[in-house]
Amino acid sequence: MSDILIRKARVLVTMDGARRELAGADLLIRGGVIAAVGHGLSAPGAEVVEAAGCVVTPGLVNTHHHLYQTLTRAVPGGQDALLFGWLKTLYPIWARFGPEEMFVSAQVGLAELALSGCSLTSDHLYLYPNGARLEDTIAAAAEVGLRFHPTRGAMSIGESLGGLPPDALVEGEAAILEDMIRVVDAFHDPAPGAMVRVGLAPCSPFSVSRGLMRDAALLARDKGVMLHTHLAENDEDIAYSLAQFGCRPGQYAEDLGWTGPDVWHAHCVKLDGSEIELFARSLTGVAHCPCSNCRLGSGIAPVRAMRDSGVRVGLGVDGSASNDAGNLAAEMRQALLLQRVARGADAMSAREVLEIATLGGAQVLGRDDCGSLVPGMRADVAVWDVSGIEAAGSWDPVAALVLCGPQRVRHLFVEGRQVVRDGQMVTLDLGRVVRRQNALAARLAS
Ligand SMILES: [Zn+2]
């Protein structure tokens, strides 16, 4: 792989310790790693990418998704339902998925993320009907070229046992643990610069047993992998926890080993003050999904209070059945707006949101090798053209990126490999993938 020199950025946002923003700076990529950042760099033989008129940032990091849901966007019965009703509408459709649906829907979701400047994403796959496996999504990520943290999700409490999902979509707990071990052993890479890291992720406290939550935590510690689930998403979720477990979700998580720097929880809209303190103290991470929280009417996550207490927060698009878009740049703007509608116009700045979307997300996912543009870090770099219509007339190009757009990246590099060039995917034929996806959606709807 030849060196790549990104030249003369209008502003290069380093996200280094001093949060430096460098006007007119260059960035040199060598062997998948950032080799140098500075002015007037020279690299004979390097491929040169001109970045005049562009803001250069670390690639965005997506901390929560269900890629398979790109196949169930805007489903009529789920458009206006609250969380539990929404799930009950979609479960029977998801029960008809198989390996092809998982692969193609992941390609679509990953490409959509890439086009919105995302270089590293997690995924939470918690149902495996008709022979679907975690590696269906890993294959898609390898083709698209994103850094990928798939999590082996699971549901084990079906309707007949008082759970929410139909029995056809749940698995036995012994089989779940066996497959968790299989996918960690087969695909998890703990090395710096890893393109795939696997996590363990029972779907939610209302779809698996207390025993599986505990066993998954023990297994994760034994294997040195991370833990992820949904927590405290809305009022129904809190009521279920109080009724079934006799405690709030934070207490339930702590009792079962689900706090710590190797754990991150999606949503956390309803965390109270003591739970925020618990998360801060234990370095437990949060995936904040502002559009999904709006779409399902779940509420406004207390992100300001979390950040002020020292909780690690990243952004997530969440699944495309509850967003229904998968554009991570759009989530930045929505995160800013939501904190402001709750707490006032000074509640969150554009630069803080950009930090949450890059460095914050990398921390939540346990990556100390991604999230900033500093020599030695992996070369995950987003180049945003702010010379177009979206930001025309803006006075501050970095703030404009969040406040105005564009929400589509011009170039994206992951591990030094170009994934998006001039706003188009270079790693796959997007038209063909979209046609295949639409054919699958039509088949599911028939
Ligand atoms: Zn989710």
Over residues 175-228, the pLDDT tens digits come to: 999 999 999 999 999 999 999 999 999 999 888 999 999 999 999 999 999 999
How long is the chain?
A: 446
Q: Compute, in angstroms, the gap from residue 407 CA to the centroid of ligand 1.
A: 22
Q: Residue 303: its pLDDT value, please?
A: 98
Spatial separation of the C-alpha atoms in residues 346 and 408, rounded to whole Å? 26
User: Per DSSP, what are the bridge partners of residue 313?
Assistant: 286
User: Average pLDDT, stretch 117-143?
Assistant: 98
| Tokens, residue 19 | 């949060």
pLDDT grade, residue 66 (50/70/90)? very high
Q: Residue 80: its pLDDT value, please?
A: 86
Spatial separation of the C-alpha atoms in residues 389 and 404, rounded to whole Å? 10
CB atoms within 10 A of CB 159: 15
Q: Compute, in angstroms, the gap from residue 78 CA to the centroid of ligand 1.
A: 15
Spatial separation of the C-alpha atoms in residues 100 and 444, rounded to whole Å? 12
CB atoms within 10 A of CB 366: 18
Going by the DSSP 8-state scheme, the letter that residue 196 receives in this structure is B
Q: Compute, in angstroms, the gap from residue 285 CA to the centroid of ligand 1.
A: 15
pTM of the model: 0.98
Pairing mode of beta strands 54-58, 381-385: antiparallel
Write the CB contacts of 174 (distance below 8 Å, at least 6 apart in sequence).
none
- At which residue do the structure tokens 């398979």 appear? 68
User: Above 90 in pLDDT, residue 87?
Assistant: no
- Tens of pLDDT along 271-310? 999 999 999 999 999 999 999 999 989 999 999 999 999 9
Pairing mode of beta strands 21-23, 33-38: unpaired
Q: Compute, in angstroms, the gap from residue 239 CA to the centroid of ligand 1.
A: 19
Q: Compute, in angstroms, the gap from residue 65 CA to the centroid of ligand 1.
A: 6
The secondary structure element, H or E, covering residue 230 is strand 226-231
Q: Compute, in angstroms, the gap from residue 287 CA to the centroid of ligand 1.
A: 9
- Tens of pLDDT along 17-37? 999 999 999 999 999 999 999
User: Above 80 in pLDDT, residue 1?
Assistant: no
Q: How far is CA 75 from the centre of its chain?
A: 22
pLDDT grade, residue 3 (50/70/90)? very high
* Percent of the chain with pLDDT strictly greater than 90: 91
CB 329 within 8 A of CB 420: no
Q: Compute, in angstroms, the gap from residue 408 CA to the centroid of ligand 1.
A: 23
Q: Residue 290: its pLDDT value, please?
A: 97
Spatial separation of the C-alpha atoms in residues 180 and 199, rounded to whole Å? 9
- Tens of pLDDT along 303-356? 999 999 999 999 999 998 888 899 999 999 999 999 999 999 999 999 999 999
| CA distances for 147 relative to 172, 255, 367, 417, angstroms | 30, 32, 11, 11
pLDDT grade, residue 443 (50/70/90)? very high
Q: Compute, in angstroms, the gap from residue 17 CA to the centroid of ligand 1.
A: 31
Q: Compute, in angstroms, the gap from residue 313 CA to the centroid of ligand 1.
A: 15
Spatial separation of the C-alpha atoms in residues 64 and 198, rounded to whole Å? 14
Spatial separation of the C-alpha atoms in residues 398 and 344, rounded to whole Å? 21
Q: Compute, in angstroms, the gap from residue 43 CA to the centroid of ligand 1.
A: 44
Q: Compute, in angstroms, the gap from residue 178 CA to the centroid of ligand 1.
A: 23
pLDDT grade, residue 44 (50/70/90)? very high
Spatial separation of the C-alpha atoms in residues 174 and 209, rounded to whole Å? 12
Q: Compute, in angstroms, the gap from residue 204 CA to the centroid of ligand 1.
A: 9
DSSP assignment of 339-353 equals HHHHH-TTS--HHHH
Q: Compute, in angstroms, the gap from residue 411 CA to the centroid of ligand 1.
A: 28
Write the CB contacts of 393 (distance below 8 Å, at least 6 apart in sequence).
none
Q: Compute, in angstroms, the gap from residue 262 CA to the centroid of ligand 1.
A: 18
